[in-house]
Chains A and B, each alone.
Chain A
Amino acid sequence: MSEPPGAAVSVTEAPPPTDVPSVPPAPQRVLPLRRPGRWIATAVVLVVAAQFVHGLATNPFYQWDRFGYWFLRPTVLDGLLITLEVTAYSAVLGLLGGILLALARLSKSPVLRAVSWTYVWALRSIPLIVVLLFLYNFSALYKTLSVGVPFGPAFFSFDESRLATDMAIAVIGLSLNEAAYAAEVVRGGILSVDQGQHEAAAALGLPKSYQFRRIVFPQALRSITPNYVNQLIGLVKSTSLVFYVSLLDLFGTVQSMGATYPGDIVPLLLVATVWYLTLTSAVSVVQFYVERYYARGATRSLPPTPLQKLRAGLTDLRARIRREAAV
């Protein structure tokens, strides 16, 4: 310790503090800052929202009684089933196709890379409706579809027009389109996995397929899930295009019923809206739990479920009220 000479002297010469109490006060509670602006903004938003809901409920334009009539009608439910079927098949086939395309794109073979790139480029460029109508008119281009050696003899063949039911056309068209987008989602997910994981798997001598299935892909799924769900929600709505290949999905049903009962067009559109909202919400709930599952190990503790969050919120609130009461 080297103090400048005279330092101790100057301290003793400083005037004694006058306004500091000799006994330290008890620790005081810090009062939170009041935020009047936030309260005003909240009130404005609530009023606007209430007005909107009131209008929705009372405006005769929406014809809620007709909405009630149509909502669970068998024709509408049949359409909903078609929408669900087309979505489910296309989502699974699209994802599988996307995984294959992503693997091809990431492979060491320049031919596979080029084919994958070209496919994604083409299918992302062509509007879905064009793809669907193309397939719809396909039977005019190729009369029969055969399975066998390329350019060689066919093992068996079947008549295109029999195979090409409207459902198949819709699923194939949507899957082709979906695969192109899914390929990029999957590729992004695989690239997001740390290089060290590939190296560790290789250093342990894990077989190549095991490396992908058990090490790389499960980790990639963490970033694939939110992006693919985004894709999936787009897909649910894209299915409304299958109406143009004469498949009566939810939108198709609503559209044709609206043509038959022109007075009910608005409630019918509301029926479609509410069903699409329900489907999207269901997908979002599934997404939450899938993401939570793949977060194992990525975070120190799993994110809470909404129920757990609610319970924690209530506990917090109770503790706060008790604290306030104590003060």
Chain B
Amino acid sequence: MTAAAVEVHGVHKWYGPHRVLDGVDLTVRPGEVTVILGPSGSGKSTLLRVVNHLEKPEIGHVSVNGELIGVRRQGGRLKELSERAILAQRGRIGFVFQNFNLFPHLTVLDNVAAAPVATGKLGKAAAQELARELLGRVGLGDKTGAYPRQLSGGQQQRVAIARALALRPGVILFDEPTSALDPELVGEVLAVIKDLATSGTTLVIVTHEIGFAREIADRVVFLDGGRVVEQGPPSEVLDRPRHERTRDFLSKVL
């Protein structure tokens, strides 16, 4: 039996009295592309952030490639891991933010090369070579010396994707990667993500691009009120939604 790439098990999450995730279960198989859809406030981003432990779930747990994230099992109970151990785990999970969050004081090359060097995975020269290769792959081989603010939004997001790839993660999570972009720049970022999808990387993508979801998703998960309302291949969830809530949402965004 091969382990699931991502397994979310009975996760509950509160912000103060407000319940954001209400018992979410989700399984992502290796190499699969999963798109999470849902209205704003449905808990999509929180779910993604729980997967790499940027948010701690109060109940439930997450595992990535068979490894529990942020916690360990001891005597039948779940105990929180040390910060150092959690940081090490995050190196195996790529995360791409809506607002890119590139490091503005570092060049594009250093943005990509920083993590492999800082985590001791590669020497400086090897990391820079890898960074050059990855930047070439996202079509920015000529921008290595630029600072992030000198780039367009679409270019910045492609750098952010290269930065996430630099740690050779088993899974990459995308939190609305095109929502902060001008419409004309969305295509270049989606093309890079599509390239990753066809190369067999496991991707979990929160997005509002329904057309893109239909094109690349192996599975679509519809979230509402912190619960998974329905999930399945795009041909089912997007074209023949079984739930009223899904139909309602799709009629508004399509």
State which residues 101-151 of B face A: CB under 8 Å.
101-107, 114-115, 118-119, 147-150
Contact B105 A298 (CB under 8 A): yes
B91 is contacted by which of A204, A215, A300 (Cβ under 8 Å)? A204
**Shortest CB–CB separation between residue A36 and chain B, in angstroms?**
43
Q: Report 30 cross-chain contacts, Cβ distance below 8 Å, ordered by A residue.
A: A196-B97, A196-B99, A196-B101, A199-B54, A199-B97, A199-B101, A200-B102, A200-B103, A202-B90, A203-B52, A203-B54, A204-B90, A204-B163, A205-B88, A205-B89, A205-B91, A205-B92, A206-B87, A206-B115, A207-B84, A207-B118, A207-B119, A208-B84, A296-B105, A296-B147, A297-B104, A297-B147, A297-B149, A298-B149, A300-B149
**Shortest CB–CB separation between residue B111 and chain A, in angstroms?**
9
Mark each residue of chain A from 291 to 313: 1 if its CB lies under 8 Å from any CB of chain B, else 0: 00010111110000000000000
B83 interface contact, C-beta 8 A: yes
A318 interface contact, C-beta 8 A: no
* C-alpha spacing A207/B163, complex, angstroms: 16
B71 interface contact, C-beta 8 A: no
Q: A297-B148, A298-B149 are in contact. Are A204 and B167 (CB under 8 A)?
A: yes
**Shortest CB–CB separation between residue B177 and chain A, in angstroms?**
14
Contact B147 A210 (CB under 8 A): no
- Quick one: closest B residue to A213, CB to CB? B118
Interface size class of B (residues with CB under 8 A): 20 to 34
Mark each residue of chain A from 189 to 207: 1 if its CB lies under 8 Å from any CB of chain B, else 0: 0000010110111111111
**Shortest CB–CB separation between residue A4 and chain B, in angstroms?**
36
A214 interface contact, C-beta 8 A: yes
Name the A residues within 8 Å of B115 (CB-CB): 204-206
Name the B residues within 8 Å of A210 (CB-CB): 118
B95 interface contact, C-beta 8 A: yes
* C-alpha spacing A203/B86, complex, angstroms: 10
A188 interface contact, C-beta 8 A: no
State which residues 207-254 of A face B: CB under 8 Å.
207-208, 210, 214-215, 218-219
Residues in chain A within 8 A of chain B (CB atoms): 194, 196-197, 199-208, 210, 214-215, 218-219, 294, 296-300
Name the A residues within 8 Å of B92 (CB-CB): 205
- Quick one: closest A residue to B52, CB to CB? A203
**Shortest CB–CB separation between residue A209 and chain B, in angstroms?**
10
**Shortest CB–CB separation between residue B116 and chain A, in angstroms?**
10
* C-alpha spacing A200/B112, complex, angstroms: 12
Name the B residues within 8 Å of A203 (CB-CB): 52, 54, 90, 95, 97
Contact B149 A299 (CB under 8 A): yes
Residues in chain B within 8 A of chain A (CB atoms): 52, 54, 83-84, 87-92, 95, 97, 99, 101-107, 114-115, 118-119, 147-150, 163-164, 167
- Which of B90, B101, B148 has the most chain A CB atoms closer than 10 A to its own CB? B101
**Shortest CB–CB separation between residue A131 and chain B, in angstroms?**
37
- Quick one: closest B residue to A216, CB to CB? B103
Name the B residues within 8 Å of A298 (CB-CB): 104-105, 149
**Shortest CB–CB separation between residue A20 and chain B, in angstroms?**
41
- Quick one: closest A residue to B104, CB to CB? A297
Name the A residues within 8 Å of B148 (CB-CB): 297
Contact A206 B147 (CB under 8 A): no
Name the A residues within 8 Å of B149 (CB-CB): 297-300
Contact B83 A300 (CB under 8 A): no
6 tightest A-B contacts by CB? A205-B91, A205-B90, A200-B101, A297-B147, A196-B101, A203-B95
**Shortest CB–CB separation between residue A207 and chain B, in angstroms?**
6
Contact A197 B95 (CB under 8 A): no
* C-alpha spacing A203/B106, complex, angstroms: 17
* C-alpha spacing A125/B92, complex, angstroms: 49
- Which of A194, A205, A207 has the most chain B CB atoms closer than 10 A to its own CB? A205
Contact B87 A208 (CB under 8 A): yes
Name the B residues within 8 Å of A297 (CB-CB): 104-107, 147-149
* C-alpha spacing A203/B89, complex, angstroms: 10
Name the A residues within 8 Å of B163 (CB-CB): 204
* C-alpha spacing A299/B164, complex, angstroms: 24
B105 is contacted by which of A207, A219, A300 (Cβ under 8 Å)? A219
- Which of A194, A214, A219 has the most chain B CB atoms closer than 10 A to its own CB? A214
* C-alpha spacing A294/B105, complex, angstroms: 8
**Shortest CB–CB separation between residue B115 and chain A, in angstroms?**
4
**Shortest CB–CB separation between residue B106 and chain A, in angstroms?**
7
**Shortest CB–CB separation between residue B220 and chain A, in angstroms?**
24
Knowing that A203-B95, A205-B91, A214-B114 are A-B contacts, what are 9 other residue pairs whose CB atoms are under 8 Å apart, sorted by A's residue number? A196-B101, A197-B101, A199-B101, A203-B54, A204-B114, A204-B118, A204-B164, A208-B83, A296-B105
* C-alpha spacing A200/B91, complex, angstroms: 12
Contact B105 A218 (CB under 8 A): yes
Contact A202 B87 (CB under 8 A): yes
A206 is contacted by which of B89, B118, B150 (Cβ under 8 Å)? B118
* C-alpha spacing A242/B150, complex, angstroms: 49
Contact A207 B87 (CB under 8 A): yes
